[in-house]
Amino acid sequence: MQRDLVERAMSGDHDAFSELARVSVGRLLVIARLILHDEPAAEDATQEALVAAWRHIRGLRDPDRFEAWLHRLLINECHREARKIRSRGTREVHLPTFDAPEPDETGRLFDRDQLDRGFRRLDVNHRAVIVLYYYAGLRPEEAADVLGWPAGTVRSRLHRAMQQMRAALEADARTKPVGEGRTA
Amino acid sequence: MTRERFTDATFDQLMSTWLDERAHGPAADPVLDLALSRTRRARPLPGWLLPERWLRGHRVQPLETGPRLAPILLVLGLLLALVVAIALVGSQRRLPPPFGLAAPGVVAFVADGDLWTANPDGSNRVRLTTDPRIDGFPVFSRDGTRIAFKRLPVDSSRPDWEDWGDVAVADADGSHPIILDPDVHSPSPMSWSGDGRFIVYSRSVDGVDQVFIAATDGSARRQVTAGRQDNWAPTLSPEGERSPT
């Protein structure tokens, strides 16, 4: 079914492309949101990836690989948006509001906060590999197809990224006051 | 707190949960609407225009995997351009100073049958030549170190004697005169080559003006044009090699 839509889109059928975009846009936006940590930038990246997909769809050699190809376009746009964010320097961030946590929730909130901090320290490549593996559920070989890297590179970058995340979590945990610790 | 705080399984679980929580946000519909409104107005690019169609593994835009390549390539390109520019400039024959941006120098002129120079304001008149013969047509070389001129013959009893003379050059102060072409009829003013090694001029040969080129050290002279048509008033191009007439 999807192959048929892709082939029609490749022949210039905009309705077919609209259907493909409608199916994919939610997932693309979430991936961009997770990678960029910036909602406007994530929306821009998603929109630009879809526009690029339409403009370049005739460059797609294998219609069955449309989804991986679309994700690759999105990752490229995330790189572009990340550069824009860096060039802007600081920007206003709207912090999510939390209800007052239950006592037993304090440790989990602390962990999330440390994960946020650790994730922000990663570059876009390492963020992308984490998101594709842990959120999108892609195997390293599938992530390699999206990212255009060898599978070994995906594994090593995933390993390095997770080491950094764990190190951030463990190091920050050492500074946490006694009594707020969390057991596994 | 130690590394054992999280096992691989619990850490993986924590990561998945954390990402799931962060995945929530505004709906994607506005993004889709904007994207489709743009794609509706555009057409897909032709396949033959797209390198990813022909180059296996080509990405629409290279992923950033390390230092950004563009600035490095830009610097390398500029360095390469600089090297090429230096090589090109270095291979050019250098024109003698002050050819180019030179300040006005002295004015050469003829008075009392001799060559003189003076400042542009008329001050500091200096007589360059004192030969009993009449000198005229002074032209400085482009570096201002030498001067070409015509020296009329002694024998003023000869018919149309003022049309005859020697083609000569001397140092800028009038010293060390050299006769390049003696006793010629109807010589024109001279034009110097950029490097000062040659002059061109015309003179009459069997009643017809022809262009000549002469080495300014007096070592050689050659007729450039021939035929029954007058060829006169030559000038040397800046390269010092062509002589349009």
Q: Is the pTM of this model over 0.95?
A: no
B23/A135 touch (CB, cutoff 8 Å), yes or no: yes
Helix (H) or strand (E) holding B136: strand B135-140
Which pLDDT value is given to residue B62? 43
Please, is B36 exposed, middle or buried when counting C-beta atoms within 10 Å of its C-beta (0-12, 13-18, 19+)?
A: buried
Q: Residue B169 domain-assigned?
A: yes
| A120 Cβ under 8 Å from any chain B Cβ | no
Is residue B82 assigned to a domain? no
With respect to residue B8, please indicate whether it lies within any of the assigned structural domains.
Answer: no
* Chain A contact present for B31, CB below 8 A: yes
On whether any CB of chain B is under 8 Å from the CB of A28, the answer is yes
Measured at the CA of A145, the angle between CA A144 and CA A148, to 5 degrees, comes to 75
The Cα A104–Cα B85 span in angstroms is 71
Distance CA B210, CA B230 (A): 6
Asked if the model's pLDDT at residue B161 lies above 90, the reply is no
Identify the closest residue of chain A to B43 by CA–CA distance.
A55
Distance of CA B135 to the CA centre of its chain: 36
In a domain, B233, yes or no: no
CA–CA distance, B198 with B224 (Å, rounded to integer)? 13
**CA–CA separation, B192 vs B65, rounded Å?**
62
In a domain, B57, yes or no: no
Has residue B1 been placed in a domain?
Answer: no
We report the CATH number of the domain holding residue B198 as 2.120.10.30
Considering only CB atoms, A34 lies closest to which of B19, B36, B44, namely: B19
What residue type is assigned to position A82 of the chain? A
pLDDT-based confidence at residue B95 (cuts at 50, 70, 90): low
Q: What is the ipTM of this complex?
A: 0.78
Cβ–Cβ below 8 Å for A115 and B28: no
> A101-184 architecture in CATH?
Orthogonal Bundle (1.10)
Model confidence pLDDT, tens digit, residues B8-67: 777 788 888 888 888 888 899 999 999 999 999 888 888 777 766 666 554 544 444 445
Question: Which of A39, A123, A131 is the closest to B25 by Cβ?
Answer: A39
Hey, where are the domains in chain A?
1-89, 101-184
R_g of chain A, CA atoms, integer Å? 19
Contacts of B115 (CB under 8 A, 6+ apart): B108, B109, B127, B128, B129, B135, B138, B147, B149, B174
Q: Domain count for chain B, please give it.
A: 1
Just give the CATH number of A1-89: 1.10.1740.10
Confidence of residue A96 (pLDDT cuts 50, 70, 90): very low
Question: From the CB of residue B139, how many other CB atoms can be counted at a distance below 10 Å?
Answer: 17
Which domain, by its residues, includes B188?
Answer: 107-223
